[in-house]
A and B are shown apart, each in its own frame.
Chain A
Amino acid sequence: MSFLLVLLALATASLGALGGLGGAVILVPLLVLTGTPAREAAPLGLLSVASRSMAAGPWQLAELTVHHRLGVTSETLAAAGASLRGRDEVHAVATEEGDGDLGEQRTSAAALPVFAGHGRINLAHAGPIIAGSLLGGQLGARLQARLDPTVLRRALAAVLVVVAAILFVQA
């Protein structure tokens, strides 16, 4: 199971870095499809996004593509929403009314402490997810410069359609 999680995280983080998506958009449905409860998959997805972001940070700073003042300002409001959403979702999942969270990259840092505080992070799965996402984030960032953006967008759209179709059929 650990090896499968590393591979899933590596593949989705690479795709996320290539296409500019939060890796959780693809990872969380795949985790649910492989038998991980949605309650566990949501925080694992956020961990993947945060790890990928951490791996990409030094590259983005070196390329001067980060606007810190804009980021911190927009993040302050997003963090308030993410903290509330993370807290609300805990109660929703507890009453079996909610499902997985496809969190955005900017809100992961704010929502993760809430999930950690509630003890919702499965540590046995967290290691492989973080390892795969860190490696995938770096791999995706390096590949991005070499691939044709149009081909990349079409490939990513195809992957998303396949994931959506599988989820639709499974539901």
Chain B
Amino acid sequence: MTARRVRYERIIWGLRLATRITLVAALAGTVIPGDTGRRASAAAVGLVIAAPLLRVSWLAYRWWRWGDRLFASVAASLLAVVGAGAAIALLTR
């Protein structure tokens, strides 16, 4: 196993776990009727939206800790753009 692959082991584990939890929530949302099913679907939607953002947050933190300020800033900018888009959507709802 290469050093790069070892570096990614934690994020691979995290993504696999998130995928499994999302699948369970989505299947629950599919088969369970009523409010419980809607809540399960909402949880699945939340996980699908949150997973890539958490991944970018993790990258920003890691790059900042390693002293790569440039790409840490780029990752933080990406999160800021997405956050601003969501905030504008909520305010103009």
A-side interface residues toward B, CB under 8 Å?
2, 6, 47, 50-51, 53-55, 57-58, 61-62, 64, 68-69, 72-73, 75-76, 79-80, 82-84, 86-87, 90, 109-119, 121, 123-124, 126-128, 130-131, 134-135
Contacts and interface: CB of A to CB of B under 8 A. Distances in A.
Q: Is the interface of B mostly helix, strand, loop or mixed?
A: helix
Contacts of A123: 29, 38, 41-42, 45
Given A55-B19, A86-B89, 6 more contacts: A57-B19, A61-B8, A87-B85, A118-B92, A130-B29, A130-B48
A54 B52 contact: yes
B46 to A, nearest CB: 8
Contacts of A110: 81-82, 85
Contacts of B5: 62, 64
A79 B90 CA distance: 17
B65 interface: no
Given A2-B30, A123-B41, A134-B23, A61 B85 contact: no
A72 B56 contact: yes
A5 B12 CA distance: 28
A80 B79 CA distance: 10
Contacts, number: 157
A112 B84 contact: no
A58 B30 contact: no
Interface of B: 2, 4-5, 8, 11-12, 15-16, 18-19, 22-23, 25-31, 37-38, 40-42, 44-45, 48-49, 51-53, 55-56, 59, 71, 74-75, 77-78, 81-82, 84-90, 92-93
Contact of B85 (A75, A83, A126): A83
Contacts of B8: 61-62, 64
A128 B28 CA distance: 9
B49 A58 contact: no
Contacts of A64: 2, 4-5, 8
Contacts of A113: 49, 82, 85-86, 89
A79 B82 contact: yes
B19 A116 contact: no
Given A123-B38, A127-B40, A80 B12 contact: no
